[in-house]
Amino acid sequence: MKVSDLSHEARIVASSMLDAAAEALNPTVRLGVTGLSRAGKTVFITALVHALTNGARMPLFRAYADGRLIGARLSPQPDDSVPRFDIETHLKALLEDRKWPQSTRRISELRLIVDFGSETFLGRRRGTSHLTLDIVDYPGEWLLDLGLMGKTYSQWSAETVAMSRRGARQEFARDWHKHLKTLDAAAPESEAEARASADLFTAYLRSSREARHALSALPPGRFLMPGDLEGSPMLTFAPLDVAADAEPKPGTLHAMMARRYDAYVDGVVRPFFRDHFARLDRQIVLVDVLAALDAGPDAVSDLETALVDVLAAFRHGRNSWLTALFRPRVDKILFAATKADHLHHTSHDRLEAILGRLVQRARETAQFGGAEVDVLAISAVRATREATAKRGKQELPVIAGTPEPGERSGDKTFTGEEEIGVFPGDLPADPNVALAPGGYRGRAETGEGDVGIIRFRPPKLEGPWGKTRLPHIRMDRVLQFLLGDKLA
């Protein structure tokens, strides 16, 4: 363990103890909405806040169904140096323009105070109880960095290079590979080489992320979404072709890259983790399984790699008073496959099974630690309706909605105006098939596949948007699982 690791831990402990003191007066839940880019974090947070403040159809969210939930109001965010989550703009885009929010470019915070009537012995005597809910929104790309915290530069280099030589990635990494061959790790350090390599590496990461291939395991995240680090020297490093246990010699290119990598991990990744993830009480892991399924088995297994790396950074398990004071653990974690409205509900079981397989390891670790774990297929804002249709002798379960402009199915391209019915194909019944190379045909290669997920625009809702209730799938289960006991 390095000194930086120790000070990292010590700072987390110090802030945990401060929190514990504040918690005694004012019950707070720090909800960790974790998800890679395009998993639907912003929509989820918007829908969650909207449901708590404006209400929704939520028969399974007990506090709400029993009529004990009085309401929720926004409150100034705890950290003045971080902007507030811009819920008004997101809602307006969703309901008036019928557009999903833009991808998040920087971090934002939201504090929500929930007023409710408690049913506990003490709560009944207190009258109205309050629960403070802290939520953070951030670019999903940055989450990928959490996996870097446990790795040295050489380990990361070896892994990244090995991965870039597999499957579809080879294509994207060609230019970078060419340049990589010219580099010698033992050569003297050179700023020009480092910069050229970093640029090519970034280009490789960006093209791997392109929509059809939907690859996910692409750290470091700031290369894809630099935020306020645009052009910073911290981002001028790239992997070298070195062995995982290689020790850099002073003065070499290898040493310079390793130094910058360490600076990146210590100066960017660790503070990000410490400020926003180290002290979570509840966690929801949003995963866009459908986009990966649409692309094919390569994308699905890539998604698994990314999730395993990210989730290893968290501590899950039941809290004792000691851990609660020094280093609280996430005691409830929900894995949610988002955008479940893009499938008919009869396919949700298979979707949940595939997600369960993807996060299997994290799930088992969390359960072993005593944390409560659940896997759900959800949709924060439901964009489709369900129907059935006959095609030949088969009766197909169909969803109907308005596809986003430019979405394609077969040789048809949609304008974003007409409403259509879609049967997205049967998901693999065995989750392992979804991961196995060649297990089924995705749309990444030819545009035709066994599964075709078409992205839909947000639903057309009537009434003044300030008062509309958002349709959803299983958001009440989500709220009950994450907050139910805190609102008892």
Partner 1 sequence: MSQKPRRPETFTLDDPELVFAEQQPDVIDLMAEPPQNGEIAEVSAVATATTPRRSRLGAVLWTALGGLVSLAFGLGVTNLIEDLFARAPWLGWVGVYFTVLLVIALVLILGREALALRRLAKIDDLRARAETAIRTDDRTMALGVVSSLEGVYSSHARTARGRASLAREKTEIIDGADLVRLAERELMTGLDAEARYLVAGAAKRVSVITAVAPRAVIDIAVVGFTAVSLIRRIADVYGGRPGTLGFLRLLRQVLTHLAVTGGMAAGEGFLDQIVGHGLAAKLSARLGEGVINGILTARIGLAAIAVCRPLPFAARSAPTLREVAGGLFDKSPT
Which residues are at the interface with partner 1 (CB under 8 A)? 57, 59-60, 65, 345, 348, 385-391, 394, 396, 398, 400, 409-410, 412, 418-426, 428-429, 440, 449-452, 454, 473-474, 477
The minimum distance between CB 389 and partner 1, in angstroms, equals: 4
Q: Which one-letter DSSP state was computed for residue 316?
A: B
The minimum distance between CB 473 and partner 1, in angstroms, equals: 5
CB nearer to partner 1: pick between 108 and 384: 384
The minimum distance between CB 362 and partner 1, in angstroms, equals: 22
CB nearer to partner 1: pick between 66 and 88: 66
The minimum distance between CB 346 and partner 1, in angstroms, equals: 9
The minimum distance between CB 439 and partner 1, in angstroms, equals: 11
The minimum distance between CB 225 and partner 1, in angstroms, equals: 32
Residue 363 and residue 373 in contact, taking contact as beta carbons nearer than 8 Å: yes
Listed residue (37, 472, 106) closest to 286, CA to CA: 37
> Residue 174 is inside which H or E element, if any?
helix 174-182
Residue 384 C-alpha from the chain's centroid = 23
CB nearer to partner 1: pick between 109 and 341: 341
CB nearer to partner 1: pick between 173 and 291: 291
Helix (H, G, I), strand (E, B) or coil at 164: helix
Residue 108 and residue 137 in contact, taking contact as beta carbons nearer than 8 Å: yes
Q: Which one-letter DSSP state was computed for residue 379?
A: B
In which residue are the tokens 């997920």 written?
453
DSSP secondary structure letters along 87-125 = HHHHHHHHHTS--PPPPP-S-EEEEEEEEEE--SHHHHH
CB nearer to partner 1: pick between 34 and 480: 480
The whole-angstrom separation of Cα 267 and Cα 271 is 7
Pairing of strands 128-137, 28-35: parallel
The minimum distance between CB 44 and partner 1, in angstroms, equals: 17
> Radius of gyration over alpha carbons of the chain, in Å?
23
Residue 148: how many other CB atoms lie within 10 Å: 22
CB nearer to partner 1: pick between 59 and 76: 59
Query: Kindly report the CA angle at 278 between 482 and 209, in degrees rounded to 5?
Result: 85
CB nearer to partner 1: pick between 64 and 264: 64
